[in-house]
Chain A
């Protein structure tokens, strides 16, 4: 399995999916066709857990702002992580600027929705 790296655009984040066990997304997210845009990432994450997962997987999400379909997509990503959390150790960091209370609140919402996952709020 190969790494997948997707460069940032003005409305989508930089995405780095590394078989060493690191999944990261940094930037803004409001694509026109959110589910099509993120399909390669979702497929990669599924295949990674099915075939190549490392003992510990670290997920770093740092999204400054996003539209509602991206919110739904991130929910689907957390859902996928939850499906795999019993067989794998998954560490999730929701990273936000300390002044960005709306990103912090979005992270808190995900923590409430996914009690089985270990999601840490990281302010910087």
Chain B
């Protein structure tokens, strides 16, 4: 391992931190959220925008934590390939990205929500979020089924893709951007 290469990668891409390995605990998530609090405070990011960054980070990392726990229960293998990266552009906008490996069954559950989200405008996302929260649908899921809508509500841009590994496994990427200055 060449730590200089990692340093270069981190600096070139404005990476604030990354966590690799797919094993996330609540303690680790709390620690990283505190690091983000320091980061936004140091850079005078407005409180409302900073809280949106924290919420998106928490949603994505708790998703990954719950996902790897469920997998461990089923097959006793830690879900590999989990990655969460928080970075910042030269303009100061924040990007919160995650990757993990999902089964085809999970892809079929997740993808319709994401297709719905990318087709909706801001008001539409808010409306759908409130409908789902009220109906309590999908409450068997830990996040109450509104997690991706929570993320979409709080960022300026969300993109995702599924990259096929084999017949029943996919890399699931999600990329969000939070702009520091709101467009009028």
Binding site for B on A (CB under 8 A): 10-11, 30-34, 64-69, 71-72, 75, 97, 99-104, 109, 112-113
A-B contact pairs, 8 of them (CB 8 A): A11-B26, A68-B59, A72-B136, A102-B55, A102-B154, A103-B48, A104-B48, A112-B130
- What 1/0 mask marks residues of chain B from 32 to 45 whose CB sits below 8 Å from any chain A CB? 01100000000000
In the complex, the answer to whether B154 meets A69 with C-beta atoms within 8 Å is no
What number of B residues sit within 8 Å (CB to CB) of A? 31
In the complex, the answer to whether A67 meets B130 with C-beta atoms within 8 Å is no
Residues in chain A near residue B51, CB distance under 8 A: 64-65, 100, 102-103
Query: How many A-B Cβ pairs are below 8 Å?
Result: 75
Given A67-B62, A100-B48, CB of A11 within 8 Å of CB of B30: yes
Question: Closest chain A residue to B25 by CB distance?
Answer: A32
Tell yes or no: B117 within 8 A of A by CB: no
**B43 nearest CB across to chain A (Å):** 15
Residues in chain B near residue A71, CB distance under 8 A: 133, 144, 146, 150
Cβ < 8 Å to A, chain B residues 124-156: 126, 130, 133-134, 136, 139, 142-144, 146-147, 149-150, 154
**Distance of A97 Cα from B147 Cα, bound (Å):** 24
Residues in chain B near residue A65, CB distance under 8 A: 51, 54-55
**Distance of A35 Cα from B144 Cα, bound (Å):** 10
Enumerate the 9 nearest inter-chain pairs by beta-carbon distance, A residue then B residue, closest first: A101-B48, A72-B144, A68-B150, A65-B51, A99-B47, A102-B48, A100-B47, A32-B26, A68-B147
Residues in chain A near residue B55, CB distance under 8 A: 65-67, 102
Residues in chain B near residue A33, CB distance under 8 A: 142
**Distance of A32 Cα from B58 Cα, bound (Å):** 10
Tell yes or no: B65 within 8 A of A by CB: yes
Question: Closest chain A residue to B147 by CB distance?
Answer: A68
**A5 nearest CB across to chain B (Å):** 22
Cβ < 8 Å to A, chain B residues 39-76: 46-49, 51-52, 54-55, 58-59, 62, 65
**B158 nearest CB across to chain A (Å):** 14
Given A32-B65, A99-B46, CB of A69 within 8 Å of CB of B133: no
Residues in chain A near residue B59, CB distance under 8 A: 67-68
Which listed residue, A10, A102, A112, touches B52 by the CB 8 Å rule? A102
